[in-house]
Amino acid sequence: MEQWRYIVTEPMSPAMNMAVDEAILQLHSEGKVGPTVRFYTWDPATLSIGYFQKAVKEINMEEVHKRGLGFVRRPTGGRAVLHDQELTYSVIVSEEHPRMPSGVTEAYKIISLGLLHGFQNLGLNAEMVSLASEEEKEKYNSPGSSACFDSPSWYELVVEGKKVAGSAQTRQKGVILQHGSILLDMDVDLLFSLLNFPSERVKERMMDSFRQKAVTINEVSSRPISLQEAVDAFGRGFASGLEVELIPSELTAEERALAEELAYTRYATDEWNLRR
C-alpha cells in the first residue's frame, strides 16, 4: 500500500498555518516531500477568508481586533471560516497522482471520502450529497452570507441533512491543495458579529438560514467528541478514504524555514490579507 506523510502540527498563528500548507505544496512540487495529510489548530482563534473575498467590504475588522482574533486570507476560494472549536485538515498531492481525477470536483470528491470515513468513524450517519441537480443545490444553498458553511460545494458532506465540513481547493505548480474545517462546536453569534450586513434584519435572517443548514459534530453526536478523538478518527478516515498508509511524520527543516519566510513576506502582511 502506498505511504503518505501524516503530520499533526502544534497550534500555529494564522500566517504560519497558511504558510505551512503552501510550503508543503511547493516542496512537494519539487519532489522533496511526498503526498501529505496534515491536521492543525489555530492560536489565536482566527477568521480566515477566501482568496477572492473583499476583506474591507465583507468583514468587520474592528470586531475581529476587539475580540482578539487572528485574521488571514487563504490561498483557496470559499468564504469566511471561524477557526475556533474545530480541526483543520489539509491534503497536498500531485495532480498527476493516479488516484487524483483531473477534474476539480471529482478530485474534491475523492479527497472528501477521507472526511466521510472520519465522520463515520465517530459514529455519525454522514453522507456525501452530489449537488448536480437544481433541487439539491436549492436545498443546501442560502441567500448568500459571507460565511463558508452557508455555501455548498459540488459534493457536500451532510449529517441529518446539514452541512458538517467546509472545504476549498487550489491547484498550483501541478499540485492540489485541499484544506477545510471540521467543526466540533461553533459560536454562530460570534461568527456573524465578524461579518458585515446591510442591516440587523438581514443579519438575523442569514443567521437563521445558517443554523438550518450547518451543524457541528457535537450537536449531532450522542456524546462529546474531543479534539484528540477527532484527530484519531479523521486520521483513520483519510487512510481508508484515500486507500493509503499514513506514516506519522514531522515537517522538515526546509518546510519550516520556507513557511516562516512565506508567513513574513505574504500571509502576515496587510498587502495580502486586505488587498481586495
* The three three-digit cell numbers of residue 224, written as one number: 462529546
**pLDDT, tens only, 189-221:** 999 999 999 999 999 999 999 999 999 999 999
For 151, phi and psi rounded to 5 degrees? Answer: -115, 110
Distance between CA atoms of residues 82 and 89, nearest Å: 14
User: For the purposes of burial, counting CB atoms within 10 Å of the CB of 47, is it exposed (0-12), middle (13-18) or buried (19 or more)?
Assistant: buried
Q: State what percent of residues in the chain have pLDDT above 70.
A: 91
* Residue whose C-alpha cell is 515537517: 251
Kindly report the CATH number assigned to the domain that includes residue 195.
3.30.930.10
Q: Which residue numbers are catalytic?
A: 148
- Of the pLDDT bands very low, low, confident and very high (cuts 50, 70, 90), residue 141 is low
Q: State what percent of residues in the chain have pLDDT above 90.
A: 82
* The three three-digit cell numbers of residue 205, written as one number: 435572517
Q: Tell me how crowded residue 51 is: count the other CB atoms within 10 A of its CB.
A: 14
Q: Over 50: is that where the pLDDT of 83 sits?
A: yes
> What is the number of structural domains in the chain?
1
At 134 the pLDDT is 57
Range of the domain at 127: 3-274
Residue 118, Cα to own-chain centre: how many angstroms? 15
User: For the purposes of burial, counting CB atoms within 10 Å of the CB of 73, is it exposed (0-12), middle (13-18) or buried (19 or more)?
Assistant: buried
At 275 the pLDDT is 83
